[in-house]
Each structure stands twice: as C-alpha cells, then as structure tokens.
Structure 1
C-alpha cells in the first residue's frame, strides 16, 4: 500500500512522496523530505514560510516550547496558505506530545498537576489551536501526532497512546513515536489497536543506523523518519560511495547521502536547513538523482545503493 523509495528513484522523480501504509488512518501522502523546525526559535515563522515557498510540503514540530515554537510554525503555514503558495490539503503537518521529562517546567502546554491523560488532552488542544488553518477551529486537524519519546514505563506509554488514539482518525490522522527502541515499537504494534504509522529516530552510527528497527518498520508498513541524517554522519559524507554518487549524479554530497538513505525503503528524512538556497537545492537534488537513476544509470544506482547498505551493515 505504500510506494517505497527502494531500487530506482523513479518514484521520487515522479512526485517525491511516500504513501502511508495505513491508508484509512493517514490519507495524506508523506513527502520524502519533511521540514524540521527544532531550535528555530523566533525565526520559525519565516523559515517555515520559506521552506513551503521553496517547495517543502511537510512540516515537523512539537508542543515543546523548550526546543520548538509551535505557534510560530503555525503562523508560517498560515502565511503560505494565505498567499496561495499551498493549500492545507497539500500539506503533511506533524507535531508531538512531549513527556514531562522533555519539557521546561516553566513553559509547557500542560500542568504538572494533571494526570497523564489530562496532559495529553491539554497538549493536543494546544497543538490543534497553534496549527489551525481553518476559520472553524473544529475543522483543525493534525496529520500525525508523535509521542516524542517513550514514557518512563511501558504502561505509561500505553496510557498516552490510548489517549491519543481517541482523536484518530478525525482530529489526528495517524500516530507515531520518536527516540524509541525496537522493543517499544514491537509492543505498540502487537498490543495497541492503532499501530504506529511513523517511527522517528536518529540515523547514526551509535545505533548501527537502526538496521533491525527499520526491518521491523518495513515488515509492518511503518515509515521510518530519519533525523540527524547529516550532522550525525560525517563519516558517511566522506565515504567513497556517497562521494562517487555525488560526482556521477552531479549533486552535492549531502543530497547524495539523502538519496541513499531514502533508497533504504519506507524512509523519509527531516531536513532542517535554514538556508533558502539549500532548501531549494535539496528538493531539486533529490529530483535530479531520481531522474539520473532511471534508464541507463539504473544499474549504477543499484550498485551505489548496495554499496551503501554494506557500509551501514544492512544485508
């Protein structure tokens, strides 16, 4: 049900999107590159607006004022819609419920005195308001609500998940989890009525590039969202497979690495660049590699992807 980014990059060249595995829950398509808004602070509105203007159609944020300005992200989205750059139905908007351990106790979307379900409801209400693009607040919805990290215990994680599930599929279209491990994802898949549609984790050497977790995601039609893709992988950027693909396809090394990661199947990437030229260049570069990988270059692309899998230990 989901068109993966494996093998030929022709699907990226055609429309640069991945379809959700859970069509009845997440009807919108998910762009291969989703604009990340962490640590953008007061620049959030302009950077989100610029990202949408340059061609991004997915935005990731969080109800966590310590690292995100969700209201300003919403302002950037609303500005782009008001100017006719995009329509809400063309966007994938994703935010997060952040547990107490990740919040600034003096600035958070819920009260420390609230129960776990009450905290979830307060956080979701603030996100729906911050990201609303409709004149009727009741029409506001979020494409995916991600649990920012597992709770201190699995029962508490389940409690959050079940509370979030009450909003699916109307106010929230799908659920995801971030900064997690294989056992937690496996438990959510087996024990929850609504399984995760998204797993958002760091893609870097310390976790062996999540080979086993990505395998679980693949087997269960879950999209893996990679972050720290560039900053966490300086050695991959210097690797011969990335440099050779960049040279062959005529793109920057960063774009070559993005494309190889996208080639791992059911993967999309958080891209948080603050440079409008890089925003445009990343999108165009992925499209360029997609076109390059077709036809006579298909075998070279397949070999590059196979070499990349060997480098990260994926059979």
Structure 2
C-alpha cells in the first residue's frame, strides 16, 4: 500500500504540471486588460510602469514559470521559515495580485479560514446525515421512511443553492428572525457568547451546502447497500447465526462503502463550487467571493491560483479514494 501511495503521488506531479499549463494558457487567452479599470486621467507612461511592476511586460512562458516557482517553491519555503524561524525565502520575488497589489497567497491565506469554517462543517454534517439515511432506507426498502427520504433527496438534487439560499434567508431570517442573514467575517471567537454567534451565523450557509451533499451521498449509499444486501455472503452470514446488526453494519456496510468512498472523496473539491454561490448569498468573505471579485477585476494571477488549488484538491482526493479502497476491501492489493 505504501509503495502504491508513493507511486501515485509521484505520478500526480506531471498531471498537476499539465493542468497548471492548461489553466494558465486558457486564462492568458481570455479577453480583457487589467489596466482597463485605471482612470483615463492616468498618463500612458504611468500605465506602462504599472504594467511592468505587475510583470505584464514579460513573455508568457516567463510568467508561467514564475507563477509555478512561487506556488511550489517560494510558498513552501515561506511556510518553513514561519514554522522554524529560518530565512530561506528572504528576498524571493512573489507573484502579486493585480487587484490587491499584494502577494496572491497572502490574500488567499487571509480568506481561507472563512471558507473552511463553512465548507468543512457543511460537508461533515452532510455525510453524518446522509450515511444513516442511506443505510436505513436500503434496509427498510419501500417503507414510509424510504419514500420520505427519496422525496427529500430529489428536492435536494433539484433545488440549486442560489434558490435554497434565498429561501432559507426569507424563512429563518426575515420571517422568523432566528438567524442572521449576513455572515460577519470580523467576528472572533473569544468566549461563549461569540461562539454562539459564530454557530448561529453558520447555520444557514451550512444548511444550504449540506442539502446537496446529503442528497447525493444518501442515494449512493442506498443503492450500494441494496446491491450487497442480496448477495450470497449475506445469506451465509445470517445462516451462521450472526446478529442482524453484525450482518448489516459490519459485512454489508464495509463492502457498500467502496463506491461511496469515491463520491465522498471526489465531492470535497466540488463543494467549493457550491461555496462560491453560497458565499455570495450570505456575504461570506471567503475564497468563493475572492474568486468572483478576481474574475470581475480580471485579476489573472488570483484566478489562476485559486483554480489550480481546486485542481490540486481533485487530484489529491482521487489518490485518497484509491488508498481507501484497499483499506475497505481486503481483496484489493495494490502491491
């Protein structure tokens, strides 16, 4: 298993390099000029100096290699310096955001905690709700619970976040007044009162993001459980006198989790796509809103970096899913 994991990590390097090249070239070919928002009163020579300061006067391949060098070399060195108090990255040139006139990764690090609070919590909540629903729906197939679960999951699939987000604001914030409609990103958790405020303002965005996660994973869990409940090994386990709990929750569940692991692992990057819309609705000052403002301002370094980070998540969680296959199914031996 260790050999397979190392091999997959090594093979992911050329994959990520190719993805980064495609992202960079596609955005370079996109129309627009970062100097378009500069006032017309600014003299042409000042605009030209601004372009040179942002690195726009350099060839495309030079800017690409500088961007990759910053992502894979400079930023890890800065993190190493921060942890161990060294100065390996001192004097290194960093890629600047055209919109904020500051290093791209510094802006991303400032916004990342807000997104992780919402996205991570919504995904955990969605999984914890979806797995029991899928298991019990399959075990009690065509029961009232199964029919209700099917209806709710179909609603979760059908309703987009931009509609469900506005709907929960109207119900829980405007009509009932229970929850705040705007996410206060300046709130710092220092005592019990601020902790309660943080939880209350997270309820609605987490609810909206967790709805689609719950709908998707519960349907996969139900289908996978139904495929395994009628297998020969289940009848054999029951014939041996094992309890129904041991049959379902040990034997059937472990085999049923193999395809579900793929959905869970690969769903992590895609939930950030939903977070882009949700952050706009609830005014969460996170990576989603940062990406939208960067696109509007034609801030190519910021858009390239955020997009590439999502690609890194997709490749990484593909590897995690493959490794978990071997953990869940003893018949799978990669080495």
TM-score normalised to the size of structure 2?
0.22
Higher strand share: 1
Larger Rg: 2
Structure scoring higher RCO (CA < 8 A, sep ≥ 6) equals: 2
Higher helix share: 2
